[in-house]
Amino acid sequence: MLYEILLVSTIALAGLLVGNELSVALFLHPTLRHFPDSLHARARRDFAGLFGRIMPFWYAAVALLSIALTWLGPPLHSMSGKLFLASTVLWLLSIIYSIVLPAPLNSRIAAWQLESVPPNWMAQERRWDTFHAIRMFVLVAAFLCVIVAAVSANSVVNA
């Protein structure tokens, strides 16, 4: 029963996190580029501050659930066990990557003073978007590993 609760919780939180990050990359930031510069910079700063406060906890929760799922789930020598382990490793790598590259830049963007936005503010946001795109590949891969592992584990149990 605990395993099933962990599995559903992990899939739900990870799916929402990946969906949120995809919506930022595919819809939010591209839409902001059509705004006048003053509104664009303000929205980018405000979203950077909001996500900078929320996302560390969300990433940590998914990583902890993934670790628990790997620990309590199918044996590591099974295909499902290997996929859960791969997912956990990818979540942890995405956190380390985020701490090293996008998060410091996000903090700088969140601290912009609108009266004196840095002259290279658009270059900073494009750089963050590039870091974020790289992270998105890792997040999607981690999420797919969880989904395939869950389906694989369920098909073995029900066979």
Residue 158 has a pLDDT of 54
Read off the pLDDT band of 41 (50, 70, 90): very high
> For residue 157, is pLDDT > 80?
no
Residue 153 has a pLDDT of 82
| Mean pLDDT value across the chain | 95
> For residue 85, is pLDDT > 60?
yes
35: left (phi over 0), alpha (psi -120 to 50) or beta: beta
Mean pLDDT of 116-143: 97
Report pTM. Answer: 0.94
11 Cβ neighbours under 8 A, 6+ residues apart? 146, 147, 150
Distance from C-alpha of 76 to C-alpha of 133, rounded to nearest angstrom: 30
Distance from C-alpha of 107 to C-alpha of 137, rounded to nearest angstrom: 22
Neighbouring C-beta atoms of residue 64, cutoff 10 Å: 14
Read off the pLDDT band of 154 (50, 70, 90): confident
Axis crossing angle, helix 79-100 with helix 37-72, rounded to the nearest 10: 150
